[in-house]
């Protein structure tokens, strides 16, 4: 379950088949890596897995993981991670979005490694860092549907468009883990 800004990850949590909503038996990570699927769309019951993968040309190429059987009567507690930074890459142009602070309402900054060009052909690109106040608003649960549809609104800023189209790595931290350091 991903809410942009917060990642809820359940260790050994029972997953459901994304086709029929019954308890999942398998996960096909290859579908996540090669097809246009969300991570929650990689969990299958045995029947739906066979049905879905029969339509594919090369079933043997898919790396299937059998999920451990879980006692659904006592599910484990979730570990909730907070988004700390996002690295975006387009060709060799790196930009990043970094949370300043460890609270959900903390500000975000935008770092552009090649924002400011100095000189002509023999010149160089200089980095730029600036406050990115729209980050929390655009990645709020209320706006997550727009991200799933992958539509870019005309009101979206250029940095946010980079986030949507060129997201490469997301960095998370565990707030409760700070208590143990």
Q: For 128-168, what is each residue's pLDDT tens digit?
A: 899 988 787 777 767 766 665 555 556 667 787 888 788 88
Domains along the sequence of the chain with CATH: 11-66 (2.10.110), 79-180 (no CATH)
The predicted model scores a pTM of 0.57
pLDDT for residue 9 is more than 80: no
Q: For 32-53, what is each residue's pLDDT tens digit?
A: 666 656 777 788 899 998 888 7
Average pLDDT, rounded, for the chain: 75
Task: State the residue for tokens 């045995």.
Answer: 46
Q: Quote the pLDDT of residue 97.
A: 93
Q: Quote the pLDDT of residue 96.
A: 94
Q: pLDDT-derived band of residue 2, with 50, 70 and 90 as boundaries? A: very low
d(CA 72, CA 17): 15
d(CA 15, CA 53): 19
Q: Given phi > 0 = left and psi -120 to 50 = alpha, else beta, which region is 12?
A: left
Average pLDDT on 12-20 reads 78
């Amino acid at each position: 379950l991903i809410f942009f800004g917060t990642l809820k990850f359940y260790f050994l949590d029972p997953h459901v088949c994304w086709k029929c909503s019954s308890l999942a038996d398998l996960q096909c990570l290859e579908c996540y890596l090669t097809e246009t699927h969300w991570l929650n769309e990689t969990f299958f019951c045995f029947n739906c897995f066979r049905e879905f993968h029969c339509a594919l040309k090369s079933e043997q190429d898919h790396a299937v993981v059998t999920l451990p059987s879980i006692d659904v009567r006592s599910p484990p507690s979730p570990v909730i991670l907070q988004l700390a930074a996002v690295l975006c890459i387009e060709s060799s142009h790196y930009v990043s979005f970094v949370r300043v602070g460890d609270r959900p309402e903390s500000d975000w900054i935008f770092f552009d490694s090649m924002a400011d060009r100095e000189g002509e052909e023999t010149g160089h690109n200089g980095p730029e860092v600036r406050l990115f106040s729209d980050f929390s608003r655009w990645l709020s649960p209320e706006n997550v549907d727009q991200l799933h549809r992958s539509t870019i609104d005309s009101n979206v800023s250029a940095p946010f468009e980079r986030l949507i189209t060129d997201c490469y790595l997301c960095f998370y931290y565990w707030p409760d883990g700070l208590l143990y350091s």
